[in-house]
């Protein structure tokens, strides 16, 4: 049997076996409130559609609130982030219980400069759950990176402290990473942007600098967020409303001729965003780890879960420009594949009166040196399995045949040594690969025997590995300690598609 059919059949077995449900509960992954919700999206889509009209669209785009530094001097960024239950108004007439950093979701935007020291006190006020703050993509010491091995207990505080090295300017983010609870804490609202700014930024300040953080909301008719279903565990949780900075299809007003610098973040658990700007021209200027060598014009962009991209968008035509989604087949398992295409994420009103003339974007942004010849090569093979055990059917999302084990080191590497990693996706779904602690360079992709070089050299910490595809990348870890690598569909990470890299000094 083809593996997809096998998995779908396996899912049906899980759905009919109450022991398997008990197993899922024991694993702490989900509470199954409603069996009828598990066959696919169909069940809850009806409810969501009834509620759709009640999720208001078209409000003015909210810029993310920034986290103020309490240090009172340049060079040090000092603040507190408290994770706690809160409520949000997504539907017009009812509150939604969420988890929030400092009461807001997405969390407050952190802006600091290259060369700064950062000291953030994390207060975990999530009842009965441990948590951590992971600094996604940032070059922080391993013991400050919020690994699942370093949990912060419910009610406890801890300080994360690190330096932002020169050259580290980029579009990073922060989110929880506790063992077994990451997916849920993130979809309930815990994620925020962390922008490291360059002291000398080649992008004109007149373009502004706006973070657009995409999250994915599913609302039940009573305004609550339903728990993950079996379908969510398999495909990753996809919601019904893609939000930008917590709003559905907000509006932005610009003058004709304006150029805007936009940092797009895919902070969804599992939604693949293939995007186009209708009525405006996009230029890619940066990726996860900061600026490219030079700008690259683009008709469309692809952001898999956890990826970021920095754009300059030119609004040269009066009228309406919209950021919309295009179709992308990432290998959906079972029924209920959500509609990917035709969602309007952001509407921009471009005025008839031209604004001030904008300075041009420089032709060169910053040098990116290739990482060079690797001293070591490694191969990581991603697979999906269904297996019988004593308690029932179990889904597995594996790397080199193994599920994550917090007590096991999977790879030992040396600090400062360049490595070639070959990520081989032998599964039926795309899996966005992410590595902690450093930025890497994608050197080639291979599919059906065809090898393709990426269109530009870039610093990345997350890269989509499409089904049946192999992605080769170069990386170098500069700091010792344990680093996670995993699929950033957070439900897959939680079901085992993660490993530990131990970097020796
Ligand atoms: Cu954004 Cu290990 O994660
Ligand atoms: Cu990370
Ligand atoms: Cu995955």
Residue with tokens 């530094």, as numbered in its chain = 69
Ligand 1 centroid–CA 137 distance in Å is: 8
Ligand 3 centroid–CA 340 distance in Å is: 18
Interval 289-313 mean pLDDT: 98
What is the percent of the chain with per-residue pLDDT over 70, rounded to a whole number? Answer: 89
Residue nearest ligand 1's atom 1 by CA: 136
Three-state SS string across 317-356, please?
Answer: CCEEEEEEEECCCCCCCCCCCCCCCCCEEEEEEEEEEECC
Ligand 1 centroid–CA 129 distance in Å is: 18
Give the position, in ligand 1's atom list, of the atom nearest the Cα of 486.
2
Residue 55 confidence (pLDDT): 84
Dist CA 251 CA 61 (whole Å): 5
Q: Which helix H or strand E contains 48, and what residues bound it? A: helix 42-52
Residue 445 confidence class, pLDDT cut points 50, 70, 90: very high
Q: What is the pTM of this model?
A: 0.91
Three-state SS string across 365-429, please?
Answer: CCCCCCCCCCCEEEEEEEEEEEEEECCEEEEEEEECCECCCCCCCCEEEECCCEEEEEEEECCCC
Ligand 3 centroid–CA 126 distance in Å is: 27
Residue with tokens 């400050």, as numbered in its chain = 144
Residue 17 confidence (pLDDT): 34
Q: Is 306 in the pocket of ligand 1 (CB under 6 A)?
A: yes
* 130-167 pLDDT tens trace: 999 999 999 999 999 999 999 999 999 999 999 999 99
Q: Is 308 in the pocket of ligand 1 (CB under 6 A)?
A: no
* 30-77 pLDDT tens trace: 333 333 333 333 334 433 444 443 689 999 999 999 999 999 999 999
List CB-based neighbours of ion ligand 2 within 5 Å.
136, 436
Ligand 1 centroid–CA 136 distance in Å is: 5
Three-state SS string across 120-167, please?
Answer: EEEEECCCCCCECCEEECCCCCHHHCCCCCCCECCCCEEEEEEECCCC
CB 193 within 8 A of CB 263: yes
CB 95 within 8 A of CB 225: no
Q: Is 484 in the pocket of ligand 1 (CB under 6 A)?
A: yes
* Bridge partners (DSSP) listed for residue 392: 389
Q: Residue 440: which residues within 8 A CB-CB, separation 6 or more?
A: 371, 421, 459, 460, 461, 463, 473, 474, 475
Ligand 3 centroid–CA 492 distance in Å is: 5
Dist CA 239 CA 33 (whole Å): 17
Helix, coil or strand: residue 315: strand
* 483-500 pLDDT tens trace: 999 999 999 999 999 999
Give the position, in ligand 1's atom list, of the atom nearest the Cα of 137.
1
Give the position, in ligand 1's atom list, of the atom nearest the Cα of 493.
2
Q: Which helix H or strand E contains 14, and what residues bound it? A: helix 3-16
Q: Is 177 in the pocket of ligand 1 (CB under 6 A)?
A: yes
Residue 334 confidence class, pLDDT cut points 50, 70, 90: confident
* 223-262 pLDDT tens trace: 999 999 989 999 999 999 999 999 999 999 999 999 999 9
Give the position, in ligand 1's atom list, of the atom nearest the Cα of 177.
2
Dist CA 336 CA 116 (whole Å): 47
Residue nearest ligand 1's atom 3 by CA: 136
**Distance set, CA 114 to CA 69, 77, 397 (Å):** 15, 11, 37
List the 431-435 sheet strands across, edge first.
Answer: 411-414, 498-504, 481-487, 431-435, 462-465
What is the percent of the chain with per-residue pLDDT over 90, rounded to a whole number? Answer: 85
Residue 492 confidence (pLDDT): 97
Mean pLDDT of the chain, nearest integer:
90
- The closest of 455, 186, 431, 459 to 301, measured between CA atoms, is 455
Ligand 3 centroid–CA 170 distance in Å is: 25
* Bridge partners (DSSP) listed for residue 395: 386
Q: Is 434 in the pocket of ligand 1 (CB under 6 A)?
A: yes
Phi–psi pair at 176, nearest 5 degrees = -70, 160
Residue 336 confidence class, pLDDT cut points 50, 70, 90: confident
Ligand nearest 136 Cα, by number? Answer: 2
Q: Residue 53: which residues within 8 A CB-CB, separation 6 or more?
A: none
Describe the crossing of helices 3-16 and 18-26 by its angle, rounded to 10 degrees: 90
The residue count for the chain: 505
* 205-229 pLDDT tens trace: 999 999 999 999 999 999 999 999 9
Residue 41 confidence (pLDDT): 39
Q: Residue 362: which residues within 8 A CB-CB, separation 6 or more?
A: 202, 203
Three-state SS string across 253-291, please?
Answer: EEEECEEEEEEEEECCCCCCEEEEEECCEEEEEEECCEE
Q: Is 263 in the pocket of ligand 1 (CB under 6 A)?
A: no
């Amino acid at each position: 049997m083809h593996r997809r059919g096998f998995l779908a059949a396996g899912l049906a077995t899980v759905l009919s076996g109450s022991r398997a449900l008990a197993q899922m509960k024991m694993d702490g992954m989900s509470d199954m409130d409603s069996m009828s919700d598990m066959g696919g999206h169909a069940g809850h889509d009806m409810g969501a559609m009834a509620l759709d009209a009640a999720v208001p669209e078209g409000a003015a785009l909210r810029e993310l609130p920034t986290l103020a530094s309490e240090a009172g001097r340049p060079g040090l960024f000092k603040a507190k982030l408290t994770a706690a239950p809160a409520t949000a108004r997504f539907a017009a007439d009812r509150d939604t219980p969420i988890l929030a950093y400092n009461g807001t979701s997405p969390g407050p935007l952190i802006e600091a400069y290259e060369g700064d020291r950062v000291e953030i006190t994390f207060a975990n006020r999530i009842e009965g759950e441990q948590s951590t703050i992971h600094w996604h993509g940032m070059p922080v010491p391993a013991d400050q990176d919020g690994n699942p091995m370093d949990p912060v207990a419910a009610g406890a505080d801890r300080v994360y402290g690190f330096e932002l090295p020169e050259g580290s300017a980029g579009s990073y983010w922060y989110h929880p990473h506790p063992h077994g609870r990451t997916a849920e804490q993130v979809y309930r609202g815990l994620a925020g942007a962390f922008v490291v700014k360059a002291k000398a930024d080649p992008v004109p300040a007149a373009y502004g600098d706006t973070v657009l953080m995409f999250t994915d909301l599913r609302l039940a008719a009573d305004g609550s967020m339903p728990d993950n279903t079996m379908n969510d565990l398999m495909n990753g949780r996809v919601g019904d409303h893609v939000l930008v900075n917590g709003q559905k299809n907000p509006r932005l007003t610009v003058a004709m001729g304006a150029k805007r610098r936009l940092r797009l973040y895919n902070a969804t658990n599992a939604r693949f965003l293939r995007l186009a700007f209708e009525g405006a021209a996009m230029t890619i200027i940066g990726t996860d780890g900061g600026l490219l060598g030079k700008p690259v014009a683009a008709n469309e962009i692809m952001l898999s879960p956890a990826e970021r991209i920095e754009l300059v968008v030119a609004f040269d035509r009066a009228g309406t420009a919209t950021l919309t989604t295009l179709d992308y087949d990432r290998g959906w398992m079972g029924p209920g594949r959500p509609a990917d295409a035709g969602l309007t994420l952001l509407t921009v009103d471009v005025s008839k009166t031209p604004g001030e003339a904008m300075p041009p974007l420089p032709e060169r942004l910053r040098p990116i040196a290739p990482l060079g010849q690797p001293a070591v090569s490694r191969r990581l093979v991603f697979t999906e399995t269904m297996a019988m055990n004593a308690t029932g059917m179990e889904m597995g999302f594996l790397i080199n045949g193994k599920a994550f084990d917090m007590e096991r080191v999977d790879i030992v590497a040396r600090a400062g040594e360049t490595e070639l990693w070959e990520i081989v996706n032998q599964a039926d779904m795309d899996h966005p690969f992410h590595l902690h602690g450093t930025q890497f360079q994608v050197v080639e992709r291979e599919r059906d025997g065809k090898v393709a070089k990426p269109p530009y050299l870039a610093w990345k910490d997350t890269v989509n590995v499409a089904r049946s595809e192999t992605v080769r990348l170069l990386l170098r870890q500069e700091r010792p300690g344990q680093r996670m690598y995993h699929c950033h569909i957070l439900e897959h990470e939680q079901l085992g598609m993660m490993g530990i890299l131990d970097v020796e000094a």
